[in-house]
C-alpha cells in the first residue's frame, strides 16, 4: 500500500470516528466500516438527528397553527400585563391599586418582578412577544438537557437526541402551550431552579437561583424546606440570603410599593388573582372550593389539607433525594408546591415537562437498555427486577406511566361545560375532569410514597439480601 492510500485510510478512519462519510474506498476501509458499525457509535448520531428532526417538525407545526389563526391562539395576555406593570412603575403609578385596563386584572407579583418588567417595558410589544416565545422554548430545551444530567447521563450525541425528541413532545403539553399562549414566565423560572440543582455540590452560587426565582414569584419558596430536609444547609442558606437580597433591593428601588406588598400583607391576599374556584386553578384550595361551593366555605379545609399534603410531600421528596434520586425529589417537591399553593393555574404545571423525561428514562430502563440510550456516569443502566421480571410487569409499568402523563395533554377547564367552568354547579364526572391535575398529582404523590414502603417490605420478606440481590431490587429510577 502506497503512502497516499495509507493517508487516505487514516483520514477515513478519523472521518468515521467523527460521524462523517469516508472519501476513499478500499479493503481496509470495509474493515473500518464494519468495526465502526459493530461498535454502535453510529447509532447515537442517528438518534441525535432523529431528535433534531422531531423538534424542528414540532416547532414548525406550532408555528403553522399560529399562522393559520393569527392572534387567536396566542393572546399574550399575561405578557401585556407584565409590560403594563413595567410602564406603571416607570411612571410612578399605583401598581397594586390599579387594574390592567382591558381585562380589569391586577398585578400580583412581588416588587422585584415589577422592577424586571420596568426594565423590559421599553421594548415594543410585538418584539417582546417573539422574545418571550423564543426564550421560553429555549428554556424548555435547556431544562430537559439539565434533567438528563441530574439523572446521571453524560454529555453525548444520544443525550442531545433524547433532549430534542422529548422537547418536541413536551412542547404540546397543555401547561407548556398555555405558558406560550399567555406569554408567561413559568418555563424560565423552572429553568432557573433546575439549573440551580444541576450545579456541583460545592458551587458558591448553588441556591441563588431558588432565591432569585422566589423573589420574582413566591411559589419557589417550597424548595427551601426541601433543602433543609435533604441536609443541603448551605444551599438553603444561600437561597434564603438571595431571597432577602431581592426584598432589600426592592425596598431601595421601590420603597412605596415594597411597603405596600410586604408590610401591609398584600402578598397574603390570594383572592386578588381572581376567582379561586375557577377550574383553571388546579390546586387543593381550588379543588375544595369547587367541591364545597365556594372559596370561603372551603378555606379552613383547604388550609388543613395543604398543611398535611405539604408535610407528606416534602418528606417523600426528601426520602427520594437522600436515596440518590435527586431529580425525582425535585419534581415531587415542585408537585407538592403546586398542590398546596392557594393558586396553581393550569399553566403553572409546566413541571410535567421534566417529569416526562424522568418517566421516559424509567420506562426505557424497565424495558432494558437501548443501544442509542445515553449512558449514565455509572455506565449502562443497571439491570433491575422489573427488567428481568415477567413481561406483564413491564407492560403494567408502561401503562401506568402513560396514564399519569396523558392528563397533561389536555386542560381541565376544557373538559367541563361553560356553565360550570367558574367552579360552581359541577356534578358527577365533572368533579373528576374539572380537578384532573389535582387528582393526577395526588395519585403520583401516593405512588411516590408507597414505592419506598413496598421496597422495604420486599427486603424484609427476603431477610438480609446479598449485594447482588440488593442491586437487583434497586428501583428502576436508580
Query: How do residues 189-236 score in pLDDT, each as one tens digit?
Result: 999 999 999 999 889 999 999 999 999 999 999 999 999 999 999 999
Which residues span the domain enclosing 361? Answer: 74-472
Q: What is the pLDDT of residues 284-299, one digit of tens each?
A: 999 999 998 888 888 8
Highest mean pLDDT among 76-90, 238-252, 352-366, 392-406: 238-252
Q: What is the mean pLDDT of residues 248-271?
A: 89
In a domain, 69, yes or no: no
Question: Residue 443's pLDDT is what?
Answer: 95
Please indicate, yes or no, if residue 429 is contained in any of the structural domains.
yes
In a domain, 63, yes or no: no
Please classify residue 202 by burial: count the beta carbons closer than 10 Å to its beta carbon, then call 0-12 exposed, 13-18 middle and 19+ buried: exposed
Provide mean pLDDT across the span 133-140: 97
Q: Which residue has the higher pLDDT, 19 or 135?
A: 135
pLDDT greater than 70 at residue 85: yes
Sign of the alpha-carbon dihedral angle for 445, 450, 452, 453: positive
Average pLDDT of the residues in 443-461: 82
Within-domain flag for 43: no
Contact 465, 473 (CB under 8 A): yes
What whole-number distance in Å separates Cα of residue 129 and Cα of residue 160? 27
pLDDT in tens, 398-433: 788 888 889 999 999 999 998 888 888 888 888 899
Angle between helices 436-462 and 326-340 (to 10 degrees): 140
Query: So what's the pLDDT on residue 54?
Result: 93
* Better pLDDT: 390 or 127: 127
Phi, psi values for residue 200, rounded to 5°: -60, 155
User: Per mean pLDDT, which range of 162-171, 247-256, 290-299 is the poorest?
Assistant: 290-299
CB 177 within 8 A of CB 208: no
CA 210-213-217 angle, to 5 degrees, is 135
Confidence of residue 476 (pLDDT cuts 50, 70, 90): very low
Average pLDDT over residues 344-368: 88
**How far is C-alpha 459 from the chain's CA centre?**
33
Q: Which H helix or E strand runs over 64?
A: helix 42-68
How many structural domains does the chain have? 1
pLDDT at residue 24, as a whole number: 53
Contact between 293 and 423 under an 8 Å Cβ cutoff? The reply is no
Helix 436-462 × helix 391-405 angle, to 10°: 150
Most confident of 122-126, 209-213, 266-270: 209-213
Predicted confidence (pLDDT) at residue 238 exceeds the cutoff of 60: yes
Please report the DSSP string for 313-367 in residue order: HHHHHHHHHHTT-HHHHHHHHHHHHHHHSS--BGGGGGGHHHHHHHHHHHHHHHH
C-alpha cell at 251: 425596598
Does residue 475 register a pLDDT over 70? no
Task: Please report the pLDDT score of residue 295 as a whole number.
Answer: 83
Section 315-343 average pLDDT: 95
Dig out the grid coordinates for 353 from the structure: 415537562
- The average confidence (pLDDT) of the chain is 84
Residue 303 has pLDDT above 70, yes or no: yes
Q: What is the mean pLDDT of residues 54-75?
A: 83
Q: pLDDT band at 188, cuts 50/70/90?
A: very high
Q: What proportion of the chain, given as a percentage, has pLDDT over 70? A: 80
Query: Binning pLDDT at 50, 70 and 90, where does residue 56 land?
Result: very high
With cut-offs at 50, 70 and 90, classify the pLDDT of residue 72: low
Domain membership flag for residue 19: no
Could you tell me if residue 49 is inside a domain? no
Composition of the chain by helix, strand, coil, percent to 5:
70, 0, 30
- Is residue 61 assigned to a domain? no
In a domain, 85, yes or no: yes
Q: How far apart are CA 166 and CA 353, in angstroms?
A: 8
| Cα diameter, the chain | 90
pLDDT at 92: 83
Over residues 121-146, mean pLDDT: 95
Distance between CA atoms of residues 107 and 19, nearest Å: 52
pLDDT for residue 38 is more than 60: no
Amino acid at each position: 500500500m502506497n503512502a497516499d492510500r495509507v493517508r487516505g485510510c487514516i483520514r477515513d478512519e478519523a472521518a468515521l470516528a467523527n460521524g462523517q462519510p469516508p472519501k476513499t474506498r478500499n479493503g481496509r476501509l470495509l474493515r473500518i466500516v464494519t468495526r465502526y458499525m459493530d461498535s454502535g457509535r453510529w447509532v447515537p448520531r442517528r438518534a441525535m438527528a432523529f431528535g433534531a428532526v422531531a423538534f424542528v417538525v414540532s416547532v414548525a407545526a406550532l408555528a403553522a397553527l399560529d399562522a393559520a389563526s393569527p392572534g387567536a391562539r396566542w393572546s399574550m395576555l399575561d405578557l401585556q400585563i407584565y409590560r403594563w406593570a413595567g410602564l406603571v412603575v416607570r411612571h410612578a403609578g399605583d401598581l397594586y391599586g390599579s387594574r390592567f385596563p382591558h381585562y380589569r386584572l391586577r398585578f400580583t407579583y412581588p416588587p422585584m418582578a415589577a422592577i424586571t418588567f420596568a426594565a423590559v417595558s421599553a421594548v415594543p410589544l410585538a418584539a417582546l412577544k417573539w422574545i418571550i416565545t423564543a426564550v421560553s422554548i429555549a428554556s424548555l430545551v435547556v431544562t430537559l438537557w439539565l434533567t438528563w444530567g441530574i439523572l446521571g447521563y453524560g454529555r453525548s450525541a444520544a443525550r442531545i437526541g433524547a433532549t430534542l425528541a422529548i422537547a418536541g413532545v413536551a412542547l404540546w403539553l397543555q401547561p407548556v402551550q398555555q405558558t406560550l399562549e399567555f406569554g408567561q414566565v413559568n418555563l424560565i423560572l423552572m429553568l432557573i431552579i433546575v439549573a440551580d440543582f444541576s450545579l456541583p455540590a460545592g458551587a458558591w452560587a448553588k441556591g441563588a437561583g431558588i432565591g432569585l426565582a422566589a423573589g420574582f414569584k413566591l411559589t419557589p419558596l417550597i424548595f427551601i424546606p426541601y433543602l433543609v430536609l435533604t441536609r443541603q444547609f448551605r444551599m438553603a442558606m444561600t437561597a434564603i440570603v438571595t431571597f432577602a437580597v431581592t426584598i432589600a433591593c426592592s425596598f431601595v428601588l421601590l420603597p412605596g410599593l415594597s411597603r405596600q406588598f410586604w408590610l401591609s400583607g398584600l402578598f397574603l391576599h390570594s383572592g386578588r388573582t381572581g376567582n379561586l374556584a375557577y377550574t383553571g386553578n388546579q390546586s387543593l384550595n381550588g379543588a375544595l372550593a369547587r367541591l364545597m361551593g365556594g372559596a370561603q366555605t372551603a378555606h379552613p379545609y383547604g388550609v388543613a389539607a395543604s398543611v398535611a399534603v405539604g408535610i407528606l410531600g416534602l418528606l417523600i421528596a426528601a426520602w427520594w433525594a437522600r436515596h440518590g434520586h435527586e431529580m425525582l425529589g425535585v419534581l415531587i417537591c415542585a408537585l407538592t408546591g403546586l398542590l398546596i399553593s392557594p393558586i396553581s393555574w393550569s399553566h403553572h404545571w409546566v413541571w410535567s415537562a421534566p417529569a416526562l423525561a424522568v418517566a421516559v428514562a424509567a420506562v426505557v430502563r424497565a424495558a432494558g437498555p437501548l443501544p442509542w440510550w445515553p449512558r449514565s456516569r455509572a455506565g449502562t443502566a443497571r439491570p433491575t427486577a422489573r427488567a428481568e421480571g415477567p413481561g406483564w410487569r413491564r407492560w403494567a409499568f408502561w401503562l401506568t406511566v402513560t396514564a399519569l402523563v396523558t392528563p397533561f395533554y389536555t386542560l381541565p377547564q376544557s373538559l367541563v361545560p361553560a356553565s360550570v367552568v367558574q367552579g360552581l354547579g359541577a356534578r358527577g364526572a365533572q368533579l373528576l375532569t374539572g380537578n384532573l391535575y389535582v387528582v393526577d398529582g395526588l395519585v403520583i404523590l401516593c405512588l411516590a410514597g408507597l414505592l419506598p414502603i413496598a421496597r422495604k417490605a420486599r427486603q424484609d420478606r427476603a431477610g438480609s439480601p446479598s449485594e447482588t440481590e440488593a442491586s437487583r431490587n434497586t428501583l428502576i429510577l436508580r
